[in-house]
């Protein structure tokens, strides 16, 4: 699915079958569980809130998330529960010639980074550092990033599924009318560290982009986002 939007994407995975009312007690759930984001960003940095330099244009994000959580149909190692695997590719254009480019990332363990210019040539990296006090990753190729050139940067990473009051990708429960609880895994991106704890991005409302989101989910769950679904692919092992 692709959607022209801010970095605020809503994503819900719910343990429902399709013909049931979605979130029957949703309003009650929201009242009882007001979202309270907790930030661990350096308070001095938060007070000054510097934005990333506006020296690039971002066109598109290709985001693929595979969350792991207890589910009767999945067979992953339980040590993976409440984590997710992610890959994100960001399509962008540099607006000035520069030695490095920065992205926002929070609480992600990034294990792979690839920077490619629009002619398909992979750029050798001099360094790629995640600064935990500002939650920014600086990607510096050996060669300069050239003004007006298009690039893609791809990140492979793992992240965490948080308790609901941390936002980002979180887990919680909802009540059926008969009192039985269901599990939901959803995102809350509107404050603080939410979006950048699910995918590296330029987390600034100045930047509008197309979001192409792929979620790998158990077949017994419903996946809901705030735009039309594109395709569903059966990838076996009771996953879609």
Ligand X SMILES: *[C@@H]1O[C@H](CO)[C@@H](O)[C@H](O)[C@H]1NC(C)=O
Stretch that binds ligand X, among 29-37, 68-76, 173-181, 189-197 (CB under 6 A): 173-181
Q: Say if CB 198 and CB 181 are below 8 A apart.
A: no
Q: Which of 73, 78, 97, 118 binds ligand X (CB under 6 A)?
A: 118
Stretch that binds ligand X, among 76-84, 176-184, 196-204, 221-229 (CB under 6 A): 176-184
- Residue 64 as a binder of ligand X (CB under 6 A): the answer is yes
Q: Say if CB 68 and CB 83 are below 8 A apart.
A: yes
Q: Which of 52, 56, 58, 62 binds ligand X (CB under 6 A)?
A: 62
C-alpha 42: how far from chain center: 21
Q: How far is the CB of 45 from ligand X (least distance, A)?
A: 14
- Residue 212 as a binder of ligand X (CB under 6 A): the answer is yes
Contacts of 185 (CB under 8 A, 6+ apart): 12, 13, 67, 69, 161, 169, 170, 171
Q: Which of 29, 45, 59, 164 binds ligand X (CB under 6 A)?
A: 59
Q: How far is the CB of 178 from ligand X (least distance, A)?
A: 4
Residue 197 CA: distances (Å) to CA of 38, 67, 91, 94, 176: 12, 13, 19, 24, 30
- Residue 20 as a binder of ligand X (CB under 6 A): the answer is yes
Q: Which of 146, 148, 173, 233 binds ligand X (CB under 6 A)?
A: 148
Q: Which of 132, 146, 226, 233 binds ligand X (CB under 6 A)?
A: 132
CA dihedral 52, 46, 166, 201 (to 10 degrees): 0
- Residue 55 as a binder of ligand X (CB under 6 A): the answer is no
Q: How far is the CB of 63 from ligand X (least distance, A)?
A: 7
- Residue 27 as a binder of ligand X (CB under 6 A): the answer is no
Angle at 106 between CA 168 and CA 29, to 5 degrees: 15
Our CB check for ligand X shows the closer of 93 and 227 to be 93
Which parts of the chain fold into alpha helices (H)? 26-32, 43-48
CA distance 76 to 36: 30
Query: How would you classify the pairing of strands 168-175 and 150-160?
Result: unpaired
Query: What are the residues binding ligand X (CB under 6 A)?
Result: 2, 20, 59, 62, 64, 93, 107, 109, 118, 130, 132, 148, 150, 176, 178, 180, 212, 214
């Amino acid at each position: 699915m692709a959607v022209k939007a801010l970095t605020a994407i809503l994503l819900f995975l719910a343990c429902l079958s399709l013909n049931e009312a979605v979130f029957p007690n949703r309003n009650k759930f929201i009242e009882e569980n007001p979202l309270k984001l907790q930030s661990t960003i350096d308070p001095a940095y938060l007070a000054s809130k510097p934005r990333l330099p506006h020296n690039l244009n971002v066109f598109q994000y290709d985001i693929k998330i595979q969350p792991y959580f207890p589910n009767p149909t999945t067979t992953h190692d339980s040590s993976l529960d409440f984590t997710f695997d992610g890959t994100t590719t960001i399509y962008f254009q540099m607006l000035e010639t520069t030695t490095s480019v920065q992205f926002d990332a929070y609480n992600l363990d990034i294990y792979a980074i690839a920077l490619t210019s629009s002619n398909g040539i992979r750029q050798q990296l001099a360094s790629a550092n995640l600064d935990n006090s500002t939650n920014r990753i600086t990607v510096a190729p050996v060669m300069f990033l050239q003004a007006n050139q298009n690039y893609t940067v791809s990140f492979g990473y793992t992240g965490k599924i948080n308790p609901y009051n941390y936002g980002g990708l979180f887990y919680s429960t909802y009540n059926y009318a008969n009192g039985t609880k269901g599990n939901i895994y959803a995102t809350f991106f509107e404050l603080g560290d939410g979006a950048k704890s699910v995918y590296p991005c330029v987390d600034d409302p100045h930047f509008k982009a197309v979001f192409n989101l792929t979620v790998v989910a158990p077949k017994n769950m419903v996946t809901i986002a705030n735009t039309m679904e594109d395709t569903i692919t059966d990838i076996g092992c009771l996953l879609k």
